[in-house]
Structure 1
Amino acid sequence: MAKINKRRKKIFDMLKEHQTGLSGEFMSQQLGVSSRTIRSDIKALQEYLVEYDIRIISSPNKGYRFNKFEQLDTAEQNLFQEGVSNLETAKQRINYILYRLLENTFKDIVITQNDLAEEMYISLSTLKMHLNEVKDILQKYDLKVTQYKTKGIKVIGEEVKIRYCIVDMINTCSTEKFFQKILANVDIKLLDKIIKETLSYKKIQLADRSKEKFCLHIAIGMQRSSYNKFVSYPSSIANKIENTFEYNVAKELIDNILKKMNIDIACSEVYYIAQCLLASKKLTDISESMDKKHVKKLVNIILKEIHEKLSIDFTNDEYLIDGLTLHLNIALTRIQFQMNIRNELLETIKNDYPLAFQMGVIAGKIVEQYDNIKINENE
């Protein structure tokens, strides 16, 4: 079905205002397009108005007009007033572009920049400016906006990172419509109940916020897998996940979802659910997946390095050592299973606690050196 762009909205408004009819020639002059374009737009509008039992009829003397007006207000509200025309701030427009592109990843849909600009009622130059900022946001997830042949733009990247991005967008922005649209086929309340019951049975405690995010990850995974969008794991990572307690919990969760929701989730989603559960667990609940002696040795090396470089001595602080060992154990577990986190306090820490952040950088470099892994700023 064709897009309802800004010009077609104007045609709708003109026909609504002139109930006796308007000629195609008059509308083409007012809108600065050809009569052929007007005919094409009228046809596109008609496709949307069918469900409201409204037809655009034409006659030689009166031109184009609506056959009835009773349902026009309802049609207008549903078709044109979905918030797109109320994108007043740059942030709202940037978020809308993000949602639109991420929504399109479910069905591999592309959209031209012209169509997107018209849909948002902004100029092409404004869209291009916002698109640069969208690209910067997506780059944090190793995602890219790419031109697909001559058909339009779309987001590409690893499936797991697309999922992380979608979850973060829902958690950090006003995304009620976006959330409802992409998860229209998932009963979130029932899914949340199943998760709570399963975790309780398995004696796993999650903070409320972590539980909500975990539920969201599963819901998005269910929806994306229904479009054959799966996360692939190399055998080395898959084997590690299979040896965790969380993997067994994930299998039970999938069994319960099948029994109570009648949704048969792909087996590959077990790894993703286990991975998300590992990332969601509280500090005191995380499985002992790393070598404690190795982690404690890293902590001692980190504190000695901080002492040498910054002349601050924490080497005898057993309480700090135990806390850092536990924290680093969890961080290394996340990295081992390729789980990204988004630290909402990152900029605050950088600005308000620069010394502490500098210590974190020193620690990260040591871990990279000894364990041959990459530590990002969020960690």
Structure 2
Amino acid sequence: MTVTTQPSTSTDPAAFDPLWQPVRVGDLELPHRLAMAPMTRDRSHPDGTPSAMNVRYYAQRAGMSLIVTEGTQPSEDGQGYLLTPGIHTDGQAAGWRAVTDAVHAAGGRIVIQLMHVGRVAHPRNTPHGRQPVAPSAIAPDARMFTSDGMLPIPEPRALSTDEVRGVVGEFRAAARAAVAAGADGVEIHAANGYLLHQFLSGNANLRADRYGGSVPNRIRLAVEVAAAVADEIGPGRTGIRISPGNPFNDIAEHDVADLYPALVSALSSLDLAYLHVAGHDLELIGRLRRLWPNALVLNRGGAELDTRAHDVAAGLADVVTVGSQALANPDLVERLRHGAPLNTPDRSTFYGGDERGYLDYPTLADTAADQLTR
């Protein structure tokens, strides 16, 4: 693979000094404040078992203060995309054990993100081939890549009230399996238009039971899942991710200013390790920051790296996560510390494929060795 490079956002390594202070996040002592964001890469086995490529990929990035894995389905119905990992079978757990062992051997820390996709699914992408499930029988206005190409996402089946309670149990069991597989904790995915976010949203959730309608009802499932996971593995190992106002996957939220403070206030009583906020509304983020008693992890996708360092220095966040920069630079921390140029991400290899664009981004040491052999 031919890799191009670009300057880091600041040529002065001192611009990133706020990132290099240690911080405690729940039960974890992090050596610095630059973490890896969850990124779907579609390179697991068809049965949801993490692959040998997954093991190498995560171990290469163990220099990040914390790795948040790609979204991992807690059940069969939680899968929506091709070649995504699960954590609900013994084989999947064994695959994750290989990943966590490799990350720990390299000195890193890793949490598995639990992601139930809900209606963002296609039967052709799953071994069971069932109709997707959702808060309500409303299909997103979106298409999805399948083994037969891009296809419209079909109408989902609305979960019954009892089945919604069953989803809570699925997250609990998946969290237990993740920690048994060596993960340092889990992150609950309540963002980006997936199942828990669908329950939060007024356009995806038209229910008339205790999980729909009012703000307290719509936040209920996310809070119940967080409470169950914290009860199962401990609050100090439990994080949750939200993305206020994010329209991804055909989500429309018209009461963000009321909904998210209510959700964060309800979650605050659980003493979770961290709240992971993805977004750019600094006024709302600051409000949530004041409501949240523990570590706040911030992902401002697309923001320059020195801007993210400033977010830490200003007290807006305790930890910041980065996605494509960590994807393309296995040694991102070392590069920023030394003011070295960054590899440019190759978007054509983000989703699916082989080792190209996944395992072959060079480190500074690789580049130096290559130059010596020329």
Structure showing greater Rg? 1
Per residue, is there more helix in 1 or in 2? 1
TM-score by length of 1: 0.29
Per residue, is there more strand in 1 or in 2? 2
